[in-house]
Amino acid sequence: MRCMKEFSKEELARYDGKNGSPAYVAYRGKVYDLSGSFLWKNGNHQVLHNAGVDLTDAIEQAPHSGDTLERFRVVGTLQAAGSKDS
């Protein structure tokens, strides 16, 4: 099985969907590519949420579940807090 890329918080922040960069978000340790989503144009979602971050807590408050992300491609995992950069 191919190893998935592990993203640090800082690396993930570079994929904010702006200036041509892909739009990635993390949820429960997985990193998803939302670049093709109509609802994530320019890395912004419903005004309040930006790509390039861990949205685990935000999704718990959202009017939809994390299952919504399952249709998007997983591009890696998010380093657990406190882990050293590889």
Partner 1 sequence: MRKQFDGGDTMARVTREMVEKSGINVNQLVELLVKNAAAELTTYYYYTILRCNLIGLEGEGIKEIAEAARIEDRNHFEALVPRIYELGGKLPEDMKAFHDTSACPPASLPKNPTDTKAMLKVLVEAERCAVRGYTHICNLTAGKDHRTYDLSQSILNEEIEHESWFSEFLGEGPSGHFMRKGEYSPFVSKFLR
Among 20, 63, 67, 85, binds partner 1 (CB under 8 A): 63
Smallest gap, in angstroms, from Cβ of residue 64 to partner 1? 5
Smallest gap, in angstroms, from Cβ of residue 11 to partner 1? 28
Phi then psi for 82, rounded to 5 degrees?
95, -10
Smallest gap, in angstroms, from Cβ of residue 30 to partner 1? 22
Report if residue 46 touches partner 1, rule: CB under 8 A.
yes
Q: Where are the alpha helices (DSSP H) in the chain?
A: 9-13, 56-61
